[in-house]
Amino acid sequence: MTNPYAPPQAAVQDISDPQVQAVPADRGTRLGAAILDNIIFVAIVYVPFLLFAVIGAGTATGNANVAAGIVLALVGFAVWCWFTITYMSRNGQSIAKKLLGIKVVRSDSTPASLGRLIWLRNVVNGVLSMVPLYAFVDLLFIFGESQQCLHDKIADTIVVKA
């Protein structure tokens, strides 16, 4: 006999296990994305500054070249910030992560918030990087079973294939 006061029972077929969908990104792709992100940043911010400010500093229009270099560096930084924040908010990716087909999600495979990505993965990690050898220890954590760097553990994130 069925209990009329029992809670309803239903089989739900449309919810999948998020852990099954998340395929961890390999270490080489993560390293490549980190290197490529730095190259992109240098190309967008530092190269224009160096071309105008440093090379043109010894010329007759040296001060104008320095000012132009600073303006170009600031414009480049603004462009880099816009792309980075746009990609991070849309899909948890930096510019290079988008190019290489990987993204950052929470450890339970749910999307990571922009605040978590910026504050916990970048700002807190940047402050901790002032501690001698922290950056080296942070990188060594990727060789653990979970393939999470220390900044991933702090932010409760993982890097997966997009």
Amino acid at 82: W
92-130: per-residue pLDDT in tens? 999 999 999 999 999 999 999 999 999 999 999 999 999
Phi, psi of 57 (to 5 degrees): -65, -30
Would you state the pLDDT for residue 29? 96
What is the C-alpha to C-alpha distance for residues 136 and 151, in angstroms, rounded to an integer?
A: 12
Residue 144 predicted with pLDDT over 60: yes
The answer to whether the pTM exceeds 0.75 is yes
Q: Is 23 within 8 Å of 161 (Cβ atoms)?
A: yes
Q: Is 148 within 8 Å of 154 (Cβ atoms)?
A: no
Neighbours of 108 (CB within 10 A): 10
Closest Cα to residue 108, out of 11, 16, 13?
Answer: 16
